[in-house]
Chains A and B, each alone.
Chain A
Amino acid sequence: MSILHYDFMVRALIASVLVGLTAPAVGIYLVQRRMSLVGDGIGHIALTGVALGFLTGQSPVISAVVVAALGAVAVELIRSRGGASGDVALSLLFYGGIAGGVLLISLAPSGGNVNLLGYLFGSLLTTAPSDLIVMGVLAVAVLLFTVGLRSWLFAICHDEEFARVSGVPVRLLNILLAVSAAVTVTVAMRVVGVLLVSALMVIPVATAQQVARGFVATMAGAMGLSVAVALTGAVGSFYLDVPSGASIVVLAVLVFVVVTAVAAAVRVWQRRSAASRSSLPAPAPLPDPVAAEPTGAGLPGR
């Protein structure tokens, strides 16, 4: 393939695979807890971290990881306390995060709007080799945690009180899960941007669960789908000269719509064929002796 002659494109594709694998691996637990929007909020907070990096001349990725992790732990503490004020507290954190980021970036010496846009919506093709190393290390750590400890993470997200009574270290795992979400947001920041990060954490999971029966199947399906969408979106954005993050997310939404429609059609078809098997004697020349027993007389034949 000709595009593989470009180093920047190879890096972009590797980054896409890393994000494609990690985002749904963490996102599935957020969806399981019905906290799909938390990834979005952590993305908002990460922007303050990016801005702090610019302001202090440090690597924006590292400062984003630190600030996003702190924010995610705060979110986790608010969640575990529960209460009606939790919702408002999260809003304060999320909108404070994005406003703080914009404010701090404008104070930075380079003060670039171009930079800001790159972090808000992703700039895959500018991924540097050093970025890729940081992303790779973080992604492997997140995958080891989310896939390796899936039995325990499933238990705490499915029924936290039961997990506590099973002796699972619930608090520790919750904090680690929050940090993983923050790390994933930062890893995905280059590819889809902080505003679209949550999409890759949630949409592939939502798509896979239309067809999968179980949790592990949903996880595997979501990760495969997410990698496919990220790669296709990245290549497509190169040829069409459109932003990579938006292409990937639009593609993910399209796949979701198609899969949902097909799955619904299949379900309707299965229900009809099941109904015709159980209650409608087929208008065939030789009726099945079992199906031919007296059935609902009022049902219309087909």
Chain B
Amino acid sequence: MSVTESAPVAAAEHATVVLGERPVLRDVSLSVTAGEVVALLGSNGSGKSTLVRTLLGLVPLSGGSVSLFGTPTARFGDWQRIGYVPQRAGAATGVPATVREVVTSGRLARRGFLRFASAADRAAVTDALETVGLAERARERVSTLSGGQQQRVLIARALAGSPDLLVLDEPNAGVDAASQRAFAETVERLVERGTTLLVVLHEVGPLAELITRTIVLDHGRITHDGAPWADGHVGGYWIDTDRHHVHGNPTASPHGEWDGVPDHAGPAKAVNR
């Protein structure tokens, strides 16, 4: 279908979300096209998690619209094209589950409702486990894995469906350095395969080289959308290319607007140069 192929992979138009009484997203418009690796940045409470959850139809809109592959999210049914890695402390619940069992549930969209798992489904699960480097631990309890490994289990779960769009919500939060590097390698392979990525990040970390576009959210509004690493101040944030780190609320201005004085990281970096 040429119409959907040329349509943006994920898009929001004037999306507004109110949770309780509090506006969380205000008039957000964005469009992610196929093959992009988009980093969604912002401080805690800036609405970046809510934005990706809204795009996926998990949070109701108060105004505007969101779409996936050209179809309004509310009517979207092609879920095997989407892989989602939620923000999560761990992958364990009340009843034990093996690593493989958790990853297998990521194949359900491809497998189809009320269908038996085929050999291809099982191979895809094994493949996803190998991609994140956990094939040897497939039969172990998820709860016995470290936080970083559990995060990799959730990434493998999203990969098991071979998605065209992978949405990751802070995949590196609380994750050890080894798992972060393993994750960056996984992302590199996905980018080569042509997967579109939308990644919510607090710290860019080892992903910096792979990101093609950066969107910065502040108080529910997009303050920057474009070049990944413009050195210096971007939309209320000081983006420090040396440390791949975004500093929230950087200025001394009473309205939080840029007044020319970089935050604590700025002068330090200037001294370093």
Residues of A at the B interface (CB closer than 8 Å) are 28, 31-34, 36, 149, 151-152, 154-155, 157-159, 161-169, 205, 209, 212-216, 218
Tell whether, in the assembled complex, residue A166 and residue B96 are in contact, meaning their CB atoms are under 8 Å apart.
no
- CB of A260, distance to nearest CB on chain B (Å): 14
B63 contacts the other chain (CB 8 A)? no
9 intermolecular pairs with C-beta atoms under 8 Å apart: A28-B95, A31-B95, A33-B93, A155-B105, A161-B53, A165-B82, A168-B108, A205-B95, A214-B97
Checking B79, B100, B104, B117 against A165 with a beta-carbon cut-off of 8 angstroms, the contacting residue is: B79
- CB of A168, distance to nearest CB on chain B (Å): 6
Tell whether, in the assembled complex, residue A167 and residue B105 are in contact, meaning their CB atoms are under 8 Å apart.
no
Tell whether, in the assembled complex, residue A163 and residue B79 are in contact, meaning their CB atoms are under 8 Å apart.
no
B102 contacts the other chain (CB 8 A)? yes
CA of A229 to CA of B48, assembled, Å:
51
Listed residue (A152, A159, A168, A209) with the most chain B CB atoms within 10 angstroms of its CB: A159
Given contacts A151-B105, A155-B108, A168-B108, contact A162 B94 (CB under 8 A): no
Checking B96, B100, B157 against A218 with a beta-carbon cut-off of 8 angstroms, the contacting residue is: B96
Residues of B at the A interface (CB closer than 8 Å) are 53, 56-58, 77, 79-80, 82, 84, 86, 88, 93-98, 100-102, 104-106, 108-109, 111, 113-114, 117, 139-141, 157, 161
Tell whether, in the assembled complex, residue B79 and residue A209 are in contact, meaning their CB atoms are under 8 Å apart.
no
Q: Nearest residue in B to A28 (C-beta to C-beta)? A: B95
- CB of B18, distance to nearest CB on chain A (Å): 16
CA of A166 to CA of B56, assembled, Å:
10
Given contacts A154-B105, A158-B102, A168-B108, contact A214 B86 (CB under 8 A): no
- CB of A126, distance to nearest CB on chain B (Å): 34
Tell whether, in the assembled complex, residue B117 and residue A151 are in contact, meaning their CB atoms are under 8 Å apart.
yes
Tell whether, in the assembled complex, residue A166 and residue B106 are in contact, meaning their CB atoms are under 8 Å apart.
yes
With contacts A166-B109, A215-B97 known, what are 18 further pairs, Cβ within 8 A?
A28-B95, A32-B93, A33-B94, A36-B94, A152-B113, A162-B106, A163-B105, A165-B56, A165-B57, A165-B58, A166-B105, A167-B79, A167-B113, A205-B95, A213-B96, A214-B96, A214-B97, A215-B96
- Give chain A's interface secondary structure class: helix
Given contacts A152-B113, A214-B101, A214-B141, contact A32 B94 (CB under 8 A): yes
Tell whether, in the assembled complex, residue B86 and residue A161 are in contact, meaning their CB atoms are under 8 Å apart.
yes
* Contact partners of B93 in chain A: CB under 8 A: 32-34, 157-158
Tell whether, in the assembled complex, residue B97 and residue A168 are in contact, meaning their CB atoms are under 8 Å apart.
no
Q: Nearest residue in B to A212 (C-beta to C-beta)? A: B96
Tell whether, in the assembled complex, residue A166 and residue B108 are in contact, meaning their CB atoms are under 8 Å apart.
yes
Tell whether, in the assembled complex, residue A164 and residue B57 are in contact, meaning their CB atoms are under 8 Å apart.
yes
CA of A163 to CA of B161, assembled, Å:
12
Tell whether, in the assembled complex, residue B97 and residue A164 are in contact, meaning their CB atoms are under 8 Å apart.
no
CA of A36 to CA of B113, assembled, Å:
27
Q: Nearest residue in B to A159 (C-beta to C-beta)? A: B86
Listed residue (A152, A155, A167) with the most chain B CB atoms within 10 angstroms of its CB: A167
Tell whether, in the assembled complex, residue A164 and residue B102 are in contact, meaning their CB atoms are under 8 Å apart.
no
Given contacts A151-B108, A159-B86, contact A166 B79 (CB under 8 A): yes
Q: Nearest residue in A to B76 (C-beta to C-beta)? A: A167
Checking A154, A205, A209, A213 against B140 with a beta-carbon cut-off of 8 angstroms, the contacting residue is: A213
